Amino acid sequence: MQDVGLKAKNLSVFYGEKQAVKDISLDFNARQVTALIGPSGCGKSTFLRSLNRMNDLIPGAKITGEVWIGDQNILSPRTDVVLLRQKIGMVWQRPNPFHKSIYENIAFGPRYHGIRDKKKLDEIVEQSLRKAALWEETKDRLHKSALALSGGQQQRLCIARSIAVRPDIILMDEPASALDPVSTAKIEELIAELKQEYCIIIVTHNMHQAARVSDRTAFFLMGELVEFDQTDKMFTNPANQQTSDYISGRFG
Amino acid sequence: MKPRTVDKIATGIIMAVAGFIILLLAGFLSYIIIRGFGHISFDFLTSPPQTFREGGGIGPQLFNSLFLLVLTMIITIPLGLGAGIYMSEYAKPGRLTDFIRLTVEVLSSFPSIVVGLFGLLVFVNVFEFGFSLFSGALALTVFNLPLMVRITEQGLRSVPREQKEASLALGISKWKTITSVMLPMAVPVILTGTILASGRVFGEAAALLFTAGMSSPRLDFTNWNPLDPTSPLNPFRPAETLAVHIWKINSEGVAPDAREIAAGASAVLVMTVLSFNLIARWLGRMVYRKFTSSR
């Protein structure tokens, strides 16, 4: 596994007239978890969705600035978005498994990317499910519908699905906010496990979660980056008054 | 009046209206089926019609209707799916897209007799397909395409955005996302549309009078060479469908048992459409299950 991180430089996102993300520069390191926190509408999800060009799908959205992975600026029009997205996995707020079997949910990506050998696919499915701590619960019903799983299991399946195509970076948009506390704890454990291999960027509403899982934290407010630092420093001794107010629950 | 009273009255009225509609439908169906059922026999379903004598059947007409349905769907489904996919996934919002949508709406509100005359002018005369199954199928395509396009579009739009994004985020191309993730989820909606379209094909008479024609040449059901003029499979032969046949014998039938034949044929038409609906629904569920492995 190479040391692939991601650098955003002067990134701005506009929805029509409205500027949702204002000139943000941020570095994300490989094998680290970076949390993006801030009140609703602060632009953290929009920022996250720019990193794999998901905002391309939204009519009227415009992105300026640069996002570098290695020596490639992924915002350049010459970037092959399909190839790029294979390198960057994504997990959503609500679990969104495909309406297919558990096996197919995972095999779908790798098969599309050229792996036809049944044995190899079986292997990838098992490995991905193991990494997502879901193998033991699902190995006897791989060919049953993924929709029969619980919400927490579905979310872990979605994580397994995204690591099956071997990304370097995983984006998570409030991955546990629709789950119960037990499932949330499992997802957090999983994140701690996964960061040994991947660069993880997680948007979260839950400050405790940010403190628990992340190495570094960025605080967003009104589309601007207010503060970015080591997580323990941010939560014990923030440099900025607004950060301190938000973290201590005075607003947001 | 008290809100609770109003609520009760409104509920009562709605129930009454619903009951009335169901009663109307049931009455209609049972009238047609009871009146015609006695006349249906194996012989009636398979033998050719008689012009002057008693005992004519509806064999060729029944076959023509089914064959025309298949032909029309072979043309309509790919076009409708293609246009629907374009409208929902590729067309950028703007004047052109709005114009296309308006055109589709207008097309769907055309009276079928006008579509028939258009077919006569264009398919029968200009392209010289003559009175033939093929001309009929093209006219019915004009008629059905808007429905098919709209239904495909609706079906694709009913797929949650997260499903589409999840696939794209795996580095799957847009086309593969549409065919492997979105279309399977849209199958139930699209299938319903296809059933509606098929029902219209089966029951349509006006658009076919001038395109598929009102006569059926002697068919030789042992000849399966589609290029031969007496073969039932030849798409370039004139073909009277069941609905057209009912219209014809009701208005100008001279056989002594014309009324009974019309009644029997109507019952067959209604029952065929009904069973087609049921089979298609069942098939749609099976397909959906197969694609999505849900139970």
CATH says A6-97+169-247 is which class? alpha beta
Whether residues A96 and B162 touch (CB distance < 8 A) is answered with yes
**Chain A residues with beta carbon closer than 8 angstroms to that of B170:** 85-86, 89, 108-109, 112, 161-162, 165
Whether residues A98 and B165 touch (CB distance < 8 A) is answered with no
Q: What is the DSSP string of B170-228?
A: TT--HHHHIIIIIHHHHHHHHHHHHHHHHHHHHH--HHHHTTT-S--PPP-TT---TTS
Residue B41 is predicted with a pLDDT of 81
CB B67 within 8 A of CB B232: yes
Residues of A with CB under 8 A from a CB of B: 52, 54, 57, 59, 82-90, 92, 94, 96-101, 104, 108-109, 112-113, 143-145, 147-148, 158, 161-162, 165
d(CA A54, CA B195): 36
CB B239 within 8 A of CB B68: yes
Question: What are the boundaries of each domain within chain A?
Answer: 6-97+169-247
Residue A1 is predicted with a pLDDT of 41
- Give me the mean pLDDT over the B81-109 stretch: 88
Q: A240 phi and psi, to 5 degrees?
A: -105, 140
- Give me the mean pLDDT over the B238-267 stretch: 83
Is the pLDDT higher at B107 or at B51?
A: B107
d(CA B62, CA A25): 71
- The residue count of chain A comes to 252
Using CA coordinates, name the residue in chain A closest to B180: A108
Q: For B99-157, what is each residue's pLDDT tens digit?
A: 988 888 888 888 888 888 888 888 888 888 878 888 888 988 888 889 899 999 999 99
- From the CA of A226, how many Å to the nearest CA of chain B? 29
Whether residues A54 and B166 touch (CB distance < 8 A) is answered with no
Q: Quote the Cα angle for B7-B10-B14, to 5°.
A: 140
Which of the residues in chain A have pLDDT under 50?
A: 1-2
Name all domains of chain B by residue range, CATH numbers in brackets. 38-292 (1.10.3720.10)
> Tokens representing A25?
């520069």
Ramachandran quadrant class, B215 (left: phi over 0; alpha: psi -120 to 50; beta: rest): beta
CA atoms lying within 13 Å on the CB side of residue A51: 32
d(CA A81, CA B177): 14
Q: Confidence band (pLDDT; 50, 70, 90) for B203?
A: confident
Q: Confidence band (pLDDT; 50, 70, 90) for B206?
A: confident
Quote the pTM value.
Answer: 0.81
Is residue B196 predicted with pLDDT exceeding 80?
no
Whether residues A99 and B184 touch (CB distance < 8 A) is answered with yes
Report percent pLDDT > 90 for chain B. Answer: 25
Interface test with B, best of A99, A113, A142, A166 (most B CBs within 10 A): A99
Is residue B294 predicted with pLDDT exceeding 60?
no
